Amino acid sequence: MTKNQLLAGLAGVVLGLCSIGANAAKGLTYTYGEVGYSNLDSDDIDANGATALISYGATDYVHVKLEYTRFNADREQKTFFTKKTDSFDIDRFIFGIGGNYRVFDKGSFVNMIDVLGTVSYYDAENSGNKNSGSINDSDRGVQYEAGVRALIKKKLELNATVTYLDIDSFDGETGFGGGAVYKFYKKYSASGTIRHFSQDDTTEFFVGLRLDF
């Protein structure tokens, strides 16, 4: 399956889900779906892929999140005489449960502000050469996130997140990120996020489409 085929399939799943929501949610919602393009760049690898995410606001204060990303990755290995590129796929699943609380509501410019925290199980497996010492077979562990979401003038959301990642290849590393969501028509929004970890100079960004249910 090519990256374009995967992205089209993921988009079809989320677009189909939008039929269950008759009206767009107002304000900051925790029930939505996203699909889009993801990029991961570090000293070690360069990866491009597609992401699908479903978030569900179980109660006014609790949300559940499920995220899947399929990366096509390249890793360059250099010796004194040769240069070799290993290509492999990465399948990453993140399942999290979090809490959210509104700390500000009904302002004239900033309409509302939420604080939130999420604990997630992190599982990433790759199809690389498992006999190569340079490629990990899998990355499993826990991801902790704390952040803030602010709604500006009803259509623009700005957010910031601190992430603590404790997995096989990231031994207790803290990263910082931010993003924006702009609602351009009823329940349709454009979204984008970026986060950076100092370990291996790792930067990941996502751009895509959000559908509020």
Number of H helices, E strands in the chain: 1, 10
Residues forming beta bridges with residue 104, ordered by sequence position: 113
pLDDT in tens, 103-129: 999 888 999 999 999 999 999 998 765
Q: Distance between CA atoms of 13 and 35, rounded to whole angstroms?
A: 9
Domains contained in the chain, number:
1
30: domain CATH number?
2.40.128
CB-based burial label for 173 (10 Å; 0-12, 13-18, 19+):
middle
Q: Which residue has the higher pLDDT, 177 or 26?
A: 177
**What single-letter DSSP state applies at residue 185?**
E
Q: What is the DSSP letter of 183?
A: E
Give dist(CA 102, CA 60) in Å, integer: 9
Task: Print the domain residue range for 152.
Answer: 3-212
Q: What is the mean pLDDT of the chain?
A: 85
Distance CA 178, CA 173 (A): 17
**Is a pLDDT exceeding 50 seen at residue 3?**
no
